[in-house]
A and B are shown apart, each in its own frame.
Chain A
Amino acid sequence: MAERISYLGYNIPPEVKNMIPVVQKFEQSFYRDILSMVALYMKTKKITLNKKEENDRLEQITDSIHNKLTISANDNKVDPNLSSIVFTGLYYILKIAIKKKVNNQTFLADITDLKLPQPLITDLSNIYNNQGKDLAEKSNNDKILFPKLETFKWRVDVIISSSFTSRVLIPVILMEMADNNGKTRVFEVSVDTFHKLRYNVAKVLKDLEDLEQNQIISKLENKLN
Chain B
Amino acid sequence: VFNIGKLVDFQWKLGVASASNHSSQLNTPFITVFIKVLDSNSKVTAHSFELTISEFKNFAQQFKDMSQLIESL
Contacts and interface: CB of A to CB of B under 8 A. Distances in A.
A162 to B, nearest CB: 3
Contacts of B19: 155-156
Interface stretch (B9-17, B51-59, B60-68): B9-17
B20 interface: yes
A71 interface: no
B18 interface: yes
A79 interface: no
Contacts of A161: 13-14
A206 interface: no
A162 B20 contact: no
Q: Which of B13, B17, B18, B22 has the most CB of A within 10 A?
A: B13
B42 interface: no
Interface string A154-181: 1111111111100000011000000000
Interface of B is mostly: strand
Contact of A156 (B10, B17, B29): B17
A139 to B, nearest CB: 35
Interface residues of B, number: 16
A162 B14 contact: yes
A160 B15 contact: yes
Interface of A is mostly: strand
Nearest to B20: A155
A159 B12 CA distance: 11
B21 A154 contact: yes
A153 interface: yes
A128 to B, nearest CB: 46
B11 A159 contact: no
A157 B18 contact: yes
Nearest to B9: A163
A157 B11 contact: no
Contacts of A155: 17, 19-21, 26
Given A155-B17, A156-B19, A160-B15, 13 more contacts: A155-B26, A156-B17, A156-B18, A157-B16, A158-B16, A160-B16, A160-B29, A161-B14, A162-B11, A162-B12, A163-B10, A163-B11, A172-B15
19 contacts: A153-B20, A155-B19, A155-B20, A155-B26, A156-B18, A156-B19, A157-B15, A158-B15, A158-B18, A159-B13, A160-B14, A160-B29, A161-B14, A162-B11, A162-B12, A162-B13, A163-B10, A163-B11, A164-B11
